[in-house]
Every structure is written in C-alpha cells, then in structure tokens.
Amino acid sequence: MASSSTTVAGSGPGGVTTLDVAVVGAGFSGMYLLHRLRGLGFSVRVYEAGDGVGGTWFWNRYPGARVDMESQEYSYSFSEDLEDSWTWSERYSAQPELLAYLNHVADRLDLRRDIQLNTRVSAARFDETARRWIVETDSGDTISARFCIMATGCLSVIKEPDFEGCETFKGPTYHTGRWPREGVDFTGLRVGVIGTGSSAIQSIPHIAAQAKHLTIFQRTPNYSVPAHNGPLDQQALAVWKAQRAENRRKERESAGGFLSSNPNEKSALEVSEAERRAEFEARWAVGGFAMGAAFNDLVSDNRANATVAEFVAEKIRAIVKDPKTAELLTPRTYPFATKRLCVDTGYYDTFNRDNVTLIDAATTPITRITPTGLSTAAADFTFDAIVYAIGFDAMTGALSRIDIRGRGGVTLREVWAEGPKTYLGLMVAGFPNLFTVTGPGSPSVLSNMVVSIEQHVDWITDAITHLRDHQMGLMEATQAAQDAWVAHVNEVADTTLYPQANSWYLGANIPGKPRVFMPYIGGVGVYRELCDAVAAKGYEGFVLSPPA
C-alpha cells in the first residue's frame, strides 16, 4: 500500500484479492470510508452482506421507521455539494427517504463499483509474517489487505427470538430489524407484537391501524416523547443552511452531536416547580430529544431525573384513557433517558383504540409460542401473525460473529469474553491495523451517529495516511493505553444514572452477555478533542512500526 497513492487492487495467486483496505459493511460508515480512502489513493473494497447499500436503513423497513433527530442533522456533512444535492421532506425522515438518500449518495459519489453486495465476511486473520489481514467471505473470496476496517454497525445483528416453541407457530412471523422489502399487510388479522422498544413504539400505531386486533406484550415500559413530525419547514431549513458551516461545527463540538436539543444549563433542582414545568411543557411541545436536555442534571441526579419522569407519567395519564393501561405504560424501574429515548408519533394514543390490548409480560411472562399464537403464565392468545420487536445484539454482535484473530491467533471473542475492551473505541491491543467504526468505548450509540461516524472515518483515514506518509506499516494500540481508556469509560459512565437501567448499552438484553457499559458517555465534542490530541502527539498510546 502505503508506498504509492496509485496502488490498485489486484488478484494474486489462488484468486486472492490484494487491497490496501478491506471495509466490512456498506451503511453510513462503510460508504464514507470508501469515498475518503479512494480519494486518498488507496485501493479499497467494501463487502456487504445485504443486497443493497444503506445498512440500518436497508434492513429496518418496518412501518413507521424513521430517524429520531432532525433530518438535516442526521446526514453527511463532509460535502456541501452533496448536502445541496438533496432536500429532506420531513422533519424526521422516514426509512424509505433515508434509504433513497443513501442510494443517492452511492450514485453521486460513484461508490457502487467498489462495493461487493451479497457477501458476508466470515473471518479475518492477521498474518504476522506478511503483516496483512486475510479476510474470508461466505462467497469464497479471500482478500489480503494491509488494513481491515469493521464498519459492521452497532445495531445490525438482530436478537433472534428464543422462546420455546418458536418454530411451531403456523402463521407468518416478522422481526422489525429484518422487515420484508415488499411490506406486510395486516388488514383483518389478529397480530401479536412482542417488545416495546423504539422499533415497537414506531411500528405499533401503524400495525394497529390495519389489524383486526393488536395485542402488545410489554416486559418493560419505555419513556417516549412526541416527535411532532411533519413537513420540513423549508424556510427554517434555508436559515439552517445559511449558517451551515457554523451549525456543523457546533454539532461536532456538542455533547450529543446535534443542536436541536437546545441544552439548558440550569439544574432541574435550582428552579421553582412552575419554571420546571414550563420548561418541560415547552419541550414536550417542541418534541424529540429536546426533553432530554431540559436541565443539565437529568441523567446525573436521581432527584432531578424524578421530576422529568413524573412529568412524562402525567402526560401518559393525560393521553391514555384507561388508568390501568396508563399505569402499565409508565416506566417505574429505571431513570428517564437512561435508555435511548423513544420519539414517537401517536404511540400512547394507540392504546385508546378498541382493537388494541396491552399485556404485562413482566408479571405474566411469555412461556411459549404455540402453533396458533402464544401462551403467557396467565392465558393463551391466538394470532394470525407475530411481530418480534425484540431488538439487537448491540455493539459487539456483528464483530463477535466474525472469526477475528489477531497476534498469536488470539480471537477477539476471547479478548472480549468479559466485555469489550478497546482504545478509544477505534482499535484493540493485539489486533494491529484493524479498526472499528463507532466501536464500544466511543460515543457511538449515545450520539447523532452520523456525526460520530464521520469523526471516526476521518480519524482512521488520517491515521492510515499518516502511516503511508511516514513509511510506516503497522499501527497498534498498547495494552496500557487500552487499559487506561477502559477504566476512563467506566469511570465516566459511573458518574451518570445510565448504569441503573437494564439496557442494551450494558448488554443486559442478551442472556449471558457481560454486563459492561459499552459506549463512551463523555460527549462527542470532548471525545473528538481527545482523539485529535492523541493524533497530534504522534498517535500517543499506539505503536507505529515499519512495514515487514
């Protein structure tokens, strides 16, 4: 690689494809990686399991799927030309529009010729002699690459239903994360939905509008705030675009990677009850993540958090007519916003429909799926279709499904047996030249992920370019730097209320997964500064060494 900026991919002996960089995954991350690396003169190819680009927005086609932050913020910012080539139509884009956008990007940047679809990477092994990654796919490809970048996504591996009797159900079953491309018509059907996370909260109003009867099995209620979605105000967008460079800079320097939350620097406990309520009301009226930033201590102080939790509980009681259902929908066991806040359109209202029933799957757990429906500890239910909205093996799932072997043949699975350990969420000690995008230990899923993805891609491509420019072949995190970073990630998490929730941030949704708070909660802006400082000090905490 690295010696030339015109290196091209080639097929070596035995049909081995030789590359500077192999990228796994063609979502927001893999597509931007391809664009940047290609522009820098590296030979690069992207391997994608799906038959189209778009990642999350390719797979999650369930009705109601849409983004949880404002459209113009959840989009690439690296090219004004690209930004000007696309006009969002809604305040919160729906999945079809997001997928169309990502396809537009693939065409406009001419990415497709270097993306190999329908190809799942099954293994990646570091050859210590050749100092190259040997990547294998389920299509029989072998790739020899200097660098391997896992752009495999944090929420790309679904949690498979493991209820007893799953295979016996005679009707169709669907998982929100693998929704059929042609859509599903629930008209006239009795439908059961299992789960009440974001995917369920977005899809339930749509399924309820079609189904003859919808029964929802809720184990843990979620906090949800209204989106107040609608057509994107094009005048407001024009104002935003007029200050685009400044807005994008502020996003990058912010805590969450977006501006629309309008953070309030006051404590919820320092203001009068009237002022607090007025702030909550104003933010409920605005909609979206604005509520989470109503005061500066909502996720760091239990008493502050209780004020917003009670406000949301009141809202639920005001919307949902049946008091028992309203109470069941009210979270009581964990603090507000310590799971990613759900942003809904008509979710609580749906429970006022005559054709919707909410079942408490905490007190009467699902015991088995039956040929005709499912059974709980209290009753049997008959369904024509079942929807599993049960989430993902998040953050580590896609990586642990690839047989990744670093120095000495040690597997990433072994190294992460007690939870993921990384340096900056970017690299793992013992796995030279292997990068992860938005990996555990980075702000990732706590942020506007497009902002975090761009930062990681820029940092990684800068690092690879640095190696080339300095005639270096290998880059590797030191164990000491990794240990210190892991300790820091945990220390920061422990200053917040997040660990109090049994969330997928902690791996709590997957039986047997180690309970470790995976993302870095220090904030997108702070984290960027840390990464930049590491690079400025000659990649402090990494060892750079010459090629073989």
Among 2, 22, 33, 67, binds ligand N01 (CB under 6 A): 67
d(CA 286, CA 328): 26
Among 30, 226, 391, 523, binds ligand N01 (CB under 6 A): 391
Q: Does 215 bind ligand N01 (CB under 6 A)?
A: no
Neighbours of 154 (CB within 10 A): 27
d(CA 479, CA 484): 9
Name which of 105, 92, 141, 88 is nearest 30 in CA terms: 105
Residue with tokens 């192999």: 22
Among 198, 260, 307, 448, binds ligand N01 (CB under 6 A): 198
Say if CB 214 and CB 204 are below 8 A apart: yes
Q: Does 345 bind ligand FAD (CB under 6 A)?
A: no
Distance in Å, CB of 88 to ligand FAD, minimum: 13
| Cα dihedral 454, 51, 13, 132 sign | positive
Distance in Å, CB of 77 to ligand FAD, minimum: 13
Q: Does 155 bind ligand FAD (CB under 6 A)?
A: yes
Q: Which does 37 bind (CB under 5 to 8 A by kind): ligand N01, ligand FAD, none?
A: none
Neighbours of 253 (CB within 10 A): 14
Pairing of strands 10-11, 16-24: antiparallel
d(CA 72, CA 76): 9
φ and ψ of 21, to 5 deg: -135, 130
* Torsion from C-alpha of 195, 197, 203, 204, nearest 10 degrees: 60
Q: Which does 25 bind (CB under 5 to 8 A by kind): ligand FAD, ligand N01, none?
A: ligand FAD
Q: Which does 440 bind (CB under 5 to 8 A by kind): ligand FAD, ligand N01, none?
A: none
Q: Which does 223 bind (CB under 5 to 8 A by kind): ligand FAD, ligand N01, none?
A: none
Q: Does 342 bind ligand FAD (CB under 6 A)?
A: no
Amino acid at 397: G
φ and ψ of 264, to 5 deg: -100, 130
Q: Does 48 bind ligand FAD (CB under 6 A)?
A: yes
Q: Does 153 bind ligand FAD (CB under 6 A)?
A: yes
Q: Does 55 bind ligand FAD (CB under 6 A)?
A: yes
Q: Which does 194 bind (CB under 5 to 8 A by kind): ligand FAD, ligand N01, none?
A: ligand N01
Residues that bind ligand N01 (CB under 6 A): 67-68, 155, 176, 194-200, 202, 219-220, 340, 343, 361, 366, 389-392, 445, 504, 509
Residues of this chain that interact with ligand FAD (CB under 6 A) are 24-30, 47-50, 55-56, 58, 60, 65, 67-69, 74, 120-121, 151-156, 199, 398, 402, 437-438, 448-449, 453
